[in-house]
Homo-oligomer: A and B are copies of this chain.
Amino acid sequence: MPPTGPRPLRADAQRNRDRLLDAAARAFSQAGGAEVTLDAIAKDAGVGIGTLYRHFPTREALVEATYRKELARLCDATSELLESLPPDEALRTWMDRFVDYMTTKRGMADALRAVIASGGNPFSESKARLTEAVTTLTRAGVDAGRVRPDVDAADLVASLGGVSLMAAEPTQREQAGRILDLLMDGLRYGARGTAAEPGT
């Protein structure tokens, strides 16, 4: 017997959930979308505020769900990057994209804070995907002798999260880039094929 997975949502619940996500996507992608009130989103979706909170217990949860697809796309881009670039550059480029999502879609910052801070639970889905993507990239780098082998992918994801949080203001995008360079050099330090010079 197939172990009863989490039983499917009731039809009306599913419908409301979808409406909420639609409304949220609409709201968050507008300018200043980070300030939209949850009441407004619920109203726009035509459901009660209680329903919103049941489906998404915190603002972060709603934002995370809204951006889950985009996060997935970002993760899926790894193989493509690895085909067209040397592994360390692929990793560096991927990091840049990661941060770019933050500065363009403002609501995304909340999403990632939620994803990365998820000590153990509800958002681990996206977190797992991100960690997996980073694992793929670093492993390729290690195999090519361009990245040190003793780096934990989860640590790196956390770092990216931290950098992104600081770079939330588009003003600080350049600073974020420099920090990523630094981090990248930390990743190169001690790789098999170590070069003594920093930078690309």
Taking beta carbons and an 8 Å cutoff, which residues of A are in contact with B?
116-117, 119, 148, 150-152, 154-156, 158-159, 161-166, 168-169, 171-172, 175, 178-179, 182-190, 194, 196-199
Contact = CB atoms under 8 A, between A and B. Distances in A.
A31 B164 CA distance: 29
Contact of A182 (B155, B169, B175, B196): B155
Contacts of A164: 162
A162 B168 CA distance: 11
Given A152-B178, A159-B162, A162-B164, 20 more contacts: A116-B166, A119-B172, A151-B182, A154-B175, A156-B182, A158-B175, A158-B179, A159-B163, A161-B162, A161-B166, A162-B163, A162-B179, A165-B166, A182-B187, A183-B186, A184-B186, A185-B190, A189-B189, A189-B198, A190-B197
Contacts of A158: 166, 172, 175, 179
Contacts of A168: 117
Copies in the complex: 2
A197 B166 CA distance: 30
A171 B116 contact: no
Contacts of A119: 169, 171-172
A148 B198 contact: yes
